[in-house]
Amino acid sequence: MSDDKKRELKDIGRRHFLRNSAVTGIAGAGLASGLGAGAMMQSRQARAAGENGIEVAPGELDEYYGFWSGGHQGEVRVLGVPSMRELMRIPVFNVDSASGWGITNESRRVLGDSARFLNGDAHHPHISMTDGRYDGKYLFINDKANTRVARIRLDIMKTDKITTIPNVQAIHGLRLQKVPHTKYVFANAELPIPQINDGRDLEAPDNYYTMFNAIDAESMEVAWQVIVDGNLDNTDADYTGRFVASTCYNSEKGMTLADTMRAERDWVVVFDVEAIEAAVAAGQHETLGDSPVPVLDGRKGSKLTRYIPVPKNPHGLNTSPDGQYFIANGKLSPTVSIIAIDKLPELFDDAIAPRDTVVGEPELGLGPLHTTYDGRGNAYTTLFIDSQVAKWNIADAIRAYNGEEVNYIRQKLDVHYQPGHNHASLTESRDADGKWLVVLSKFSKDRFLPVGPLHPENDQLIDISGEQMKLVHDGPTYAEPHDCILLRADQLSPSRVWTRDDPFFAETRAMAEADGITLERDNKVVRDGNKVRVYMTSIAPQYGLTEFKVKQGDEVTVVITNLDQVEDLTHGFCLVNHGVSMEISPQQTASVTFTADKPGVHWYYCNWFCHAMHMEMTGRMLVEKA
């Protein structure tokens, strides 16, 4: 066939496809199920009008907040669901020009030593819990790229703590203790390394190991680390507070792809948090190098862990919202393994064998990666290779495992394409409500207008409130949301303006007080050797100082307090040719430090649109020649 002919056929195919979808748009999602997933093009009009009967019109508010990881882009994104509108971006492990994240002193304090890294790889966002329910206080997320864990304060939607985990490399799986509350953030370090990693054992992989880490959610200090056999991929906690389970795809401790696939089975390692705490309290730990963190040995034979064999190279691990099961997703096996949590005390008592905790192993399709739940006994598993979501019934899968003839598969729905995580509304809590399912598809291929060789990904929204899953929305996203979490809008209450005594800028306030400055009033330059601190206020459309003078070579800190009280009235401060830019929201104080290395006149201007005279909101830094 000639290339022209091929193109023509492709065009006809596409026209047909579009015609179908126009019909679908009028008929609504209810009728569309018979047309198949491909026809659900009305979704591109940002509509979600499925069984839930919801359409979010302009000016209307969404019922759910969604927090998306930004993958190797490094941030967290806030979306409204079901509209899938992007509401906000929260810089975490990235540098952000608009807010000044990574530039301001306040953000650099949060970043600490790791401010030298300009990148990150954010995978798993999870919201703090009290008694198995989201409490809306914090969101935690891992950085695989630079071995960090960050905390976002959900009242101000800013990252307020970042901790680098010592002695390990590449934090991947991250989950929170659910019960009695989020005391610990559990974080899996994926890649085994020599201990201590100071040049010893380079060629002796047998001596490498990795560790399971618990971080205190309030102090954000590492509470303890547990050495494991193999490696660690994903993790989740139970609803008793005692057990956490992690998948291991590299029981072989292989150093190459082929090595990691040699064994027929890998495992799920279960951690007994109570036993670990008791061992730490009893002083049964060591420390490594100059890190003070207690390190315990949880390798095979330890009383702190148990290793449950599962089919090779498992990936996601997800606790069912009824608290009954850990489900490990097969990846290289078409199955998932259902582990009964109520059998784990017996396992730790050595009353049963590890495999006796597996009560079901349903075959779902090719490449199961992650499972989520509707709170009605059904599970939804992404099938990466099949490009589908399989809806299946847990109780029926257990019956089938026990020899009954029962079909546990409820439905398979095509998604576009190659899904990784999926996430149902409130699924990680006791309140799993089975309304919406987000599927994070790694490939979008032909679903959107082409934008060059780099394609967006495709986050699809599926209505799961009825018997059948219904695809209602395509949402293109920039690289690479690995995961997301949904909670009801009423479970969060973000601030509308800053409070003047917010700890986020407490250190800056303390510095001002030491300089005899009242931030809410003073516009002054304070000199301290070659360090100059410039304090000013802002009220639309003016800075408190329209000029200030420094000497070439001075280290200048500009501190701005936004006195505007009006909601949404954010100012900026951008100093031309100095790489300086930041946000100052209503009642916020923000600061930035730089060297005035060039004599002359340097204009600064407000870069957040604030007023009709926003363009005129400017000032000059006058730098005298040294």
Compare residues 259 and 528 and give the one whose CB is closer to Ca ion.
259
Q: In sequence order, which residues have a C-beta less than 8 Å from that of residue 288 and are 6 or more positions away?
A: 166, 167, 195, 196, 295
Contact between residue 356 and residue 408 where contact means Cβ atoms under 8 Å apart: no
With residue 410 as reference, give the H or E element that holds it. Answer: strand 409-414
Interaction between residue 175 and ligand K7E (CB under 6 A): no
The answer on whether 423 is annotated among ligand-binding residues is no
- The CB-side HSE value for 222 (13 A sphere, CA atoms) comes to 25
Contact between residue 556 and residue 536 where contact means Cβ atoms under 8 Å apart: no
At closest approach, how far in Å is the CB of 575 from ligand CUA? 14
Compare residues 42 and 250 and give the one whose CB is closer to ligand K7E.
250
CA 18 to chain centre: 35
Sites for ligand CUA among residues 536-555 (CB under 6 A): 540-541
Interaction between residue 617 and ligand CUA (CB under 6 A): yes
Pairing of the two strands 295-297 and 222-228? parallel
Spatial CA neighbour of 141 closest among 526, 482, 499:
482
Interaction between residue 143 and ligand K7E (CB under 6 A): no
Piece of the chain touching Ca ion by CB under 5 A; list 87-95, 147-155, 275-283, 312-320: 312-320
Q: What is the largest CA-CA distance in the chain?
A: 87
Radius of gyration of the chain from its Cα atoms, rounded to whole angstroms: 27
At closest approach, how far in Å is the CB of 540 from ligand CUA? 5
Peptide bond into 141 cis (omega under 30): no
Give all strands (DSSP E) within 500-611, no chain letters: 524-528, 531-539, 542-543, 547-551, 555-562, 571-575, 580-584, 589-595, 600-605
Interaction between residue 89 and ligand K7E (CB under 6 A): no
The site map against ligand K7E for 397-426 (x = CB under 6 A) is -----------------------xx-----
At closest approach, how far in Å is the CB of 147 from ligand K7E? 14
Among 234, 387, 508, 562, binds ligand K7E (CB under 6 A): 234
**Partner from ligand K7E, ligand CUA, Ca ion, none contacting 123, C-beta within 5 to 8 A by type:** ligand K7E
**Partner from ligand CUA, Ca ion, ligand K7E, none contacting 377, C-beta within 5 to 8 A by type:** none
Interaction between residue 63 and ligand K7E (CB under 6 A): no
Pairing of the two strands 388-393 and 378-383? antiparallel
The site map against ligand K7E for 439-478 (x = CB under 6 A) is ----------------------------------------
Residue 325 CA to residue 495 CA, distance in Å, equals 37
Residue 181 CA to residue 476 CA, distance in Å, equals 35
At closest approach, how far in Å is the CB of 561 from ligand CUA? 13
Spatial CA neighbour of 101 closest among 85, 127, 120:
120
Q: Quick one: tokens of 402?
A: 């026990």
At closest approach, how far in Å is the CB of 328 from ligand K7E? 12
Interaction between residue 104 and Ca ion (CB under 5 A): no
Residue 81 CA to residue 99 CA, distance in Å, equals 24
Interaction between residue 381 and ligand K7E (CB under 6 A): no
Residue pointed to by tokens 């407000």 = 606
> Phi first, then psi: what are they for 481, rounded to 5°?
-60, 120
Residue pointed to by tokens 């330059």 = 525
**Partner from Ca ion, ligand CUA, ligand K7E, none contacting 172, C-beta within 5 to 8 A by type:** ligand K7E
Compare residues 235 and 313 and give the one whose CB is closer to Ca ion.
313
Compare residues 67 and 408 and give the one whose CB is closer to ligand K7E.
67
At closest approach, how far in Å is the CB of 579 from ligand CUA? 19
The answer on whether 482 is annotated among ligand-binding residues is yes
Interaction between residue 575 and ligand CUA (CB under 6 A): no
The answer on whether 248 is annotated among ligand-binding residues is no
Contact between residue 145 and residue 119 where contact means Cβ atoms under 8 Å apart: yes
Three-state SS at 172: strand
Sites for ligand CUA among residues 587-616 (CB under 6 A): 606, 608-610, 614
Interaction between residue 190 and Ca ion (CB under 5 A): no
The answer on whether 124 is annotated among ligand-binding residues is yes
Residue 454 CA to residue 304 CA, distance in Å, equals 45
At closest approach, how far in Å is the CB of 586 from ligand CUA? 11
Compare residues 47 and 482 and give the one whose CB is closer to ligand K7E.
482
- DSSP-assigned beta bridge partners for residue 169: 191
**Partner from ligand CUA, Ca ion, ligand K7E, none contacting 266, C-beta within 5 to 8 A by type:** Ca ion
**Partner from ligand CUA, Ca ion, ligand K7E, none contacting 609, C-beta within 5 to 8 A by type:** ligand CUA
Spatial CA neighbour of 382 closest among 484, 263, 230, 237:
484
Sheet with 547-551, side-by-side order of all strands: 547-551, 618-624, 600-605, 571-575, 580-584
At closest approach, how far in Å is the CB of 262 from Ca ion? 7
- DSSP summary character for residue 62: P
Interaction between residue 310 and ligand CUA (CB under 6 A): no
Among 106, 266, 361, 433, binds Ca ion (CB under 5 A): 266
At closest approach, how far in Å is the CB of 288 from Ca ion? 26
Residue 43 CA to residue 51 CA, distance in Å, equals 14
Interaction between residue 560 and ligand CUA (CB under 6 A): no
> Phi first, then psi: what are they for 4, rounded to 5°?
-60, -45
**Partner from ligand K7E, ligand CUA, Ca ion, none contacting 483, C-beta within 5 to 8 A by type:** ligand K7E
The answer on whether 606 is annotated among ligand-binding residues is yes
Among 153, 158, 315, 602, binds ligand K7E (CB under 6 A): 315
Interaction between residue 123 and ligand K7E (CB under 6 A): yes
> What are the CA-CA distances from residue 231 to residues 198, 209, 253, 266, 316 (Å)?
20, 7, 7, 10, 14
- DSSP summary character for residue 162: E
Q: Is the dihedral of CA 52, 58, 60, 66 positive or negative?
A: positive
**Partner from Ca ion, ligand K7E, ligand CUA, none contacting 369, C-beta within 5 to 8 A by type:** ligand K7E
- As a dihedral over the C-alpha atoms of residue 450, residue 451, residue 453, residue 455, rounded to 10 degrees, the angle is -80
Interaction between residue 333 and Ca ion (CB under 5 A): no
- Annotated binding-site residues read 123-124, 172, 315, 370, 421, 482, 571, 606, 608, 610, 614, 617
Per CB under 6 A, residues contacting ligand CUA are 540-541, 571, 606, 608-610, 614, 617
Per CB under 6 A, residues contacting ligand K7E are 123-124, 172, 234, 315-316, 369-370, 420-421, 482-483
- Annotated binding-site residues for Cu cation read 123-124, 172, 315, 370, 421, 482, 571, 606, 608, 610, 614, 617
Per CB under 5 A, residues contacting Ca ion are 249, 260, 266, 313
